[in-house]
Amino acid sequence: MKNRIVSFALALLAILSLTLGTSLAAPPRYKVAYLINGALGDLSFYDSGQEGIDRIKKELNAETRTIECNYDPVAYPQALQSVVAWGADVIFVVSYGFEDLLMQYADMYPEKKWINLDTVVQNKKNTITNVDFIEEEGAFMAGVVAGLVTTDTSIPGVNRDKVIGAVCGEDDPIMRGFLFGYEQGAKHIDKDVELKTIFAGTWDDPVRGKQAAKQLYSQKVDIIFQIAALTGSGVLEAAKEEGKYAIGVDSNQNGLQPGHVVTSMLKHMGQSIYRVYGTILDGKYKPGMVLEYGLREGGVGLAIDSHTKEILPAKSLQRVIDIENKVKSGVIKVERYRG
């Protein structure tokens, strides 16, 4: 009898060890590349994506590599060839400026998983999956905040003229989408709000960003939405120097110039990378899809924190939250930019 009990216990231990071994097994080790047309260090869009890459490396067993092109067209084909030569299984790519090259490579290497971030690029073999952020919804909410600030003269430094601003990197359809949503949000608060915009012509020049911002502040602008990557850090500096306000972009930039950055429009690049990679691991990934991530899907949103609460009155903050919930539920419809 004793021998039977021991045998049973050993068999049970063997089953448990097999079960635990299966459940605790590490995910498959894929090579994952993050290929960007720009450069890290923007404290915004590209850095947000890198956070997602770092997370899948740490949590999901991925072997990762990041390639920065630094806005150099000569580097684009070299970068694509580099990820292929490295043997990347999954390529997350920001393809501004080399969309045609991306399509060529995706057709040449259809076995690889190509995920294009922030625009829609469709190749002949339909193997590119696109993450399309509904930036109009996030920008709409930034506009709501801007509208509430410029119409509230109880906020220090705000004048009576109801003028808001925006500094963009370059003039392209993505920027037009941001501006389209931003103006909708501001006019949702007050139809008489005026928007003034400057295109800096560069994504990586904070000095130019500061100059553009100061030009706008001199034109009675109370608050500026910076949509200019690293160039936009100069906008935030100008807000502090002029005693005015700004809105950050892509990552939470509220703490960069405390007391002057009211909120930041978040574009959750990192979370989206993590989310898409998870579908690859669980077998739900489908090539060729266009994944639209707006407010409801958690792709875009606002950074509301202690810095926001120091500037925005409680009643205005509650109004922001109420409007955001209405956009998520569909009660408020944000029109998309169609170019």
Q: Which residues contact 204 (CB under 8 A, 6 or more apart)?
A: 38, 39, 42, 71, 229, 230, 231
Confidence of residue 339 (pLDDT cuts 50, 70, 90): confident
Q: Judging by beta carbons within 10 Å of its beta carbon (0-12, 13-18, 19+), is residue 6 exposed, middle or buried?
A: exposed
Give the residue among 183, 178, 248 at the shortest CA–CA distance from 209. 248
Domains 31-133+270-293 and 135-266+304-329 share a fold: yes
Structural contact between residues 207 and 234, judged by C-beta atoms closer than 8 angstroms: yes
Q: 16-28 in b/e burial notation, b at 16+ Cβ within 10 A?
A: eeeeeeeeeeeee
Q: Report the amino acid identity of residue 7.
A: S
244-262 pLDDT, tens per residue? 999 999 999 999 999 999 9
Q: Name residue, tokens 């292929």.
A: 84
The answer on pLDDT for 23 being more than 50 is no
The answer on pLDDT for 316 being more than 70 is yes
Domain made up of 135-266+304-329: CATH architecture: 3-Layer(aba) Sandwich (3.40)
pLDDT at 227: 97
155-174 pLDDT, tens per residue? 999 999 999 999 999 999 99
pLDDT at 28: 80
Confidence of residue 29 (pLDDT cuts 50, 70, 90): confident
Q: Name residue, tokens 């906020």.
A: 155
Q: In the chain, what are the domain boundaries? A: 31-133+270-293, 135-266+304-329
Give the residue among 251, 256, 270, 249 at the shortest CA–CA distance from 92. 270
pLDDT at 43: 87
Instruction: In whole angstroms, give the CA distance from residue 174 to residue 252.
Output: 20
Distances (CA, A) of 181 to 149, 239, 265: 17, 22, 12
Q: Which CATH number fits domain 31-133+270-293: 3.40.640.10, 3.40.50.2300, 3.20.20.60, 3.30.365.10?
A: 3.40.50.2300
